[in-house]
Amino acid sequence: MIKLVEAILSGNLVEARELLSTRINEIIEEKLHQIKLRTVAEDYDLDSYLPEANVMKMGRMKLVRLRVRKGKVQRRKKFSSAPGYTIRGGRLVRMSSIERMHRKRGARRAKFKIKAKRNQILRKRKISLRKRRAMGLR
Q: 120 and 64, same structural domain?
A: yes
Q: 86 and 41, same structural domain?
A: no
**Structure confidence at residue 46 (pLDDT):** 53
pLDDT one-digit tens code per residue, 13-66: 888 888 889 989 988 988 888 887 777 766 665 544 444 567 778 888 888 777
Q: 98 and 58, same structural domain?
A: yes
CB 55 within 8 A of CB 64: yes
CB 132 within 8 A of CB 68: yes
Q: 83 and 36, same structural domain?
A: no
Radius of gyration of the chain from its Cα atoms, rounded to whole angstroms? 23
Find the domain containing 12 and state its range: 2-48
The answer to pTM > 0.95 is no
> Could you tell me the sign of the dihedral formed by the alpha carbons of 19, 20, 25, 28, in that order?
positive
SS (H, E, C) the chain: CHHHHHHHHHCCHHHHHHHHHHHHHHHHHHHHHHHHHHHHHHHCCCHHHCCCCCEEEECCEEEEEEEEECCEEEEEEEEECCCCEEEECCEEEECCHHHHHHHHHHHHHHHHHHHHCHHHHHHHHHHHHHHHHHCCCC
Q: 42 and 67, same structural domain?
A: no
Nearest to 76, CA basis, from 58, 59, 95: 58
Report whether pLDDT(98) > 60.
yes
Q: 121 and 61, same structural domain?
A: yes
Q: 62 and 97, same structural domain?
A: yes
**Structure confidence at residue 123 (pLDDT):** 92
**Structure confidence at residue 138 (pLDDT):** 58
Number of domains present in the structure of the chain? 2
Q: 81 and 22, same structural domain?
A: no
